[in-house]
Chain A
Amino acid sequence: MIRRLLAVWHARNLEFLRDRPTLIFTLLLPIALVVGMSFVFGGRERPVFKIGVVAATINPDSHPFLRERYVEFVPLPDRDAGVQKVQHQQIDLLFEPSGTPRYWVNTDSPKGYIAEKLLLAAAPAAQRQPVTGAAVRYVDWLFPGILGMNMMFSCLFGVGYVVLRYRKSGFLKRLHATPLTAFEFLSAQVLSRLCLILFVTGVLYAGIGAIIHFHTAGSFALLLLLAVLGALSMIALGLTIAARFSSEELVGGLLNLLTWPMMLLSGIWFSLEGSPQWVRWIAAVFPLTHVLEGARAIMLDGAGAVQIAPHLIYLGATALLFLGFGAWSFRWRVE
């Protein structure tokens, strides 16, 4: 069984690595996206202070500080999320006007220092809650998103269309005439794609990381485990689509139906914080959401295995579920 699996795995790897245009595109697209997005959103900082306010909406009448000029006030109903933004220097200060006024300021942030002076001029009795943490630029936040997006496309289309092509061309039918089982074939496809994705993602991680001077805060081993489980879950999801259909239009449509909501709702480009609860419920179904939340927690906050365990468990469980369904519904030939 292992020999048959390895034979198919090896042949698929050769096919992918020799398909130069696809390989180059797979590597260049994410680099171009990161560079482009960091250019558009990263650029020069805007000449205003950005201060979070623990409230559902900003009411300038509720506190004199909220009437300051050249300050952008952002409502942040979730205080913990707001504190995290202060730690990452995504906002310069977090102000809670209700009750006894309090504020959180990052003592490592020069802009936080100035913003604090401004606040104390308007609210001298506000209680200081100091936090620390290096700045997280948008590009740092975007980086895991781009890697995850590339992984998602590679998992879903790379497996879905390849199996469909094999079926339509009759190659699967020819394999069916050998002792190879559906389980062996699918396992070889999953393992081949997994190895290639890890290789490509590793190259991108090193390459883009060097360009944007990114340093992962947490464990590489944990990040690798998350990447393996995430890729397995999404490859298996691609197999469930490609398992039996023979129509390129149908498979293309179904894959788009899966990828576009993930593109928009999994938090690749922007955080889902503050979005309606139903959007977050939908997002929580997608494997990519768990990959990105787990990856950002490891890469930006240095989270450990315990903190991201729910993501790991979800990805592992969905990988098994999708693989089982894919193997059960697999068809060798065009019906």
Chain B
Amino acid sequence: MSEPILEVRNLVKQYPSVTAVDGLSLAVPAGICFGLLGPNGAGKTTTIEIMEGILTATSGEVTYRGSPLGQRFREEAGILFQKTALQDFLTVRQSISLFRGLYDRGLAVDEVIRLCALEKLADRDNRKLSGGQQQRLLLAIALVNDPALLFLDEPTTGLDPQARRNFWALIQSIKARNKTIILTTHYMEEAELLCDEIAIMDRGRIIAQGAPRRLLHEHFAEVLLELPKQDFPASARALPLRIIDGAERVEITTDDLDATLRTLIDAHVPLTSLRIRPANLEDLFLELTGKELRA
């Protein structure tokens, strides 16, 4: 594995009433897409904003290519915040040009516009864009300095499914340019599709870290059975099964599907709405924390 491009050691962020980040350490190797996952309030935005140099940590250290965050980091990092407003009355091209003017080096404005498929919108007022178009513009601004390291903080939150898929395709094309990406999300599908490595956060700490497939393999048997909660009688809870309670459903993990199905049939559990599927990151989070990601 290559040298870490960004490293975080013993990070703590203490607010008067809450510890948002609680002794977090991680290293992001160059050239990968690193996902920071967790539910709302887990501390991922605080963590990523400290990594971006926007927030100051109470204690701990963040280094970029082995040095504390400084001018080089600002020149070489691209950032897409969860929520950003742009200057009023500027077109898409002018908004990009403004940010291009703030960096010593970077891509030509036209190239960024092409990269983010904004050609037809270049002369439109930035306030007259749809949600997906706005995110593409913010991504273009994040790419304007041709960053070595790109931060994407929940980039597809609030987008419709089609816009989200388009955005994923865009991120994959950027990934193909050998950029390092640090992504926070609570969409597990997004993380599974884009991330080479993930860290799952809860209450300001990392509770699991590694490649998504490896983590799933470590924590889960091959399949997962899913039943609506109302179909799962209280008496069935005494059965010798590994049961995880969700908000609306009950999940059972097993490496012997036949035996589990027989047990359920013998206990007269209705199986009309039974769904059998492989475990995913959502299940992993539920398994690790007992909470659903978007709870």
Contacts and interface: CB of A to CB of B under 8 A. Distances in A.
Contacts, number: 71
B102 A173 contact: no
A183 to B, nearest CB: 14
Contact of B54 (A10, A18, A333): A333
B199 to A, nearest CB: 22
Interface string B56-98: 0000000000000001001101010101111111100010011
B74 A11 contact: no
Contact of A12 (B79, B81, B87, B102): B87
- Classify chain B's interface size: 20 to 34
A95 to B, nearest CB: 60
B74 A170 contact: no
B75 A179 contact: yes
Given A18-B89, A19-B88, A179 B102 contact: yes
Interface residues of A, number: 26
Contacts of A333: 54
B81 A174 contact: yes
Contact of A177 (B52, B85, B87): B52
Contacts of A7: 97-102
Given A177-B53, A177-B77, A333-B54, A171 B85 contact: yes
Contacts of A12: 87
B103 A15 contact: no
Contacts of A19: 88-89
Contact of B84 (A8, A11, A14, A171): A171
Interface in A153-195: 166, 169-171, 173-180
A13 to B, nearest CB: 10
Contact of B87 (A11, A178, A180): A11
B96 to A, nearest CB: 11
B258 interface: no
Contacts of B71: 179
Interface in A175-228: 175-180
B104 interface: yes
B278 to A, nearest CB: 39
Contacts of B145: 178
Interface centre among B54, B84, B87, B141 (most CB of A within 10 A): B87
**Chain B interface secondary structure, helix, strand, loop or mixed?**
loop
A166 B87 CA distance: 8
A19 B88 CA distance: 9
A169 B85 contact: yes
A6 interface: yes
A175 B102 CA distance: 9
A12 B88 CA distance: 9
A3 interface: yes
Interface string B125-163: 000000000000000010001000000000000000000
B227 to A, nearest CB: 43
A4 B74 CA distance: 13
A11 B98 contact: yes
A176 B94 CA distance: 19
A179 B145 CA distance: 11
Interface centre among A19, A177, A178 (most CB of B within 10 A): A177
B88 A15 contact: yes
A286 B285 CA distance: 62
B137 to A, nearest CB: 12
A296 to B, nearest CB: 37
A12 to B, nearest CB: 7
Nearest to A180: B102
Contact of A173 (B84, B97, B99): B84
Interface centre among A4, A6, A178 (most CB of B within 10 A): A178
A163 to B, nearest CB: 12
B15 to A, nearest CB: 11
A170 B81 contact: yes
Contacts of B99: 7, 178
A331 to B, nearest CB: 12
Given A4-B101, A7-B100, 7 more contacts: A7-B98, A10-B101, A11-B94, A15-B87, A19-B89, A174-B79, A178-B103
Interface of B: 52-54, 71, 74-75, 77, 79, 81, 83-90, 94, 97-104, 141, 145
Interface of A: 3-4, 6-8, 10-12, 14-15, 18-19, 166, 169-171, 173-180, 332-333
The 10 closest A-B pairs by CB, nearest first: A7-B101, A169-B85, A18-B89, A178-B102, A11-B98, A177-B79, A179-B74, A15-B89, A174-B84, A4-B102
28 contacts: A4-B101, A7-B99, A7-B100, A10-B101, A11-B90, A14-B90, A14-B94, A15-B88, A15-B89, A19-B88, A166-B87, A170-B81, A170-B84, A171-B84, A171-B85, A171-B87, A173-B54, A174-B84, A174-B141, A175-B102, A177-B52, A177-B54, A177-B77, A178-B99, A178-B145, A179-B71, A179-B75, A179-B104
